[in-house]
Amino acid sequence: KQEVTQIPAALSVPEGENLVLNCSFTDSAIYNLQWFRQDPGKGLTSLLLIQSSQREQTSGRLNASLDKSSGRSTLYIAASQPGDSATYLCAVYSSASKIIFGSGTRLSIRP
Amino acid sequence: EAGVAQSPRYKIIEKRQSVAFWCNPISGHATLYWYQQILGQGPKLLIQFQNNGVVDDSQLPKDRFSAERLKGVDSTLKIQPAKLEDSAVYLCASSPTAGTGVGYTFGSGTRLTVV
């Protein structure tokens, strides 16, 4: 059974720092992995989608990597800003109907 | 392009009452998902539709929860009777196809409080 873990559960850093969020999964036989952002009281917004054949994806200040063999993905945020404060969730696609989310990392960027 | 629409935004009911949530996906999206998100946790898939057929409802508590997607467009999720532990945000999402994550779009959710 696929399990997805995100550590840390919460993180607070000063503005301008680079930071890394972690996601680990127990079954390496995955299709894709996706990182989402969730603002309070809102739904989830897709940030980056990494297909199983890829090792990383980049969008602006965000970079996500995927290492299937070790069951890990990281989301790197460069030059953090207060507007980056949100909960970040990773989701693993084990099949067309098996999408498992982690519990998220609640990120707070201090001005 | 309009997003995934959900209503109501908030609902407070007493335990043992019934409640229904509505979702209108993005036009043309064949796959529709209902998730339950308890505070501090990630979303848990309740049911997945492909057009108007059920693909996965393995985590749907079928003794009290039901869902339908008539005509393969909008969908309703019902809870009857509600329990205190059903307090959560119910998220609807849609995508053009299943299992890839491409075009995966969430609604803003319905926050249910059972008292």
Q: How many CB pairs under 8 A join A and B?
A: 61
CB B99 to CB A43 under 8 A?
no
Burial profile A4-31: b = 16 or more Cβ within 10 angstroms, e = fewer: bebeeeeeeeeeeeebebebbbeeeebb
Q: Across the interface, do A41 and B91 touch by the CB < 8 Å criterion?
A: no
Partner residue opposite B56 with nearest CB, options A41, A91, A97: A97
- Read off φ and ψ for residue B70, nearest 5 degrees: -70, 140
Residues A76-98 pLDDT 10s: 999 999 999 999 999 999 876 67
| Amino acid identity at B10 | Y
**B111, B9 contact by CB (below 8 A):** yes
Name which of B43, B93, B101 is nearest A49 (Cβ-Cβ): B101
Q: Is the dihedral of CA B2, A99, A4, B76 positive or negative?
A: positive
**Which DSSP state fits A16?**
T
Distance from CA of A89 to the nearest CA of B (A): 7
Over chain B, what is the mean pLDDT? Answer: 94
Condensed to tens digits (0 to 9), the pLDDT of residues B60-106 reads 999 999 999 988 899 999 999 999 999 999 999 999 988 778 888 99
Q: What was the pLDDT predicted at B25?
A: 96
Taking the alpha carbons of A95, A32, B51, B108 in that order, is the dihedral positive or negative?
positive
Q: Side-chain half-sphere of A76: how many Cα atoms within 13 Å?
A: 12
State whether B42 and A46 contact (CB < 8 Å): no
pLDDT reading at B13 higher than 90: yes
Which candidate in B21, B37, B95 is best for mutational testing of the A interface (most A CBs within 10 A)? B37
Asked whether the beta carbons of A63 and A52 are under 8 A apart, the reply is no
Quote the CA–CA distance of B113 and B79 in Å, as a whole number: 12
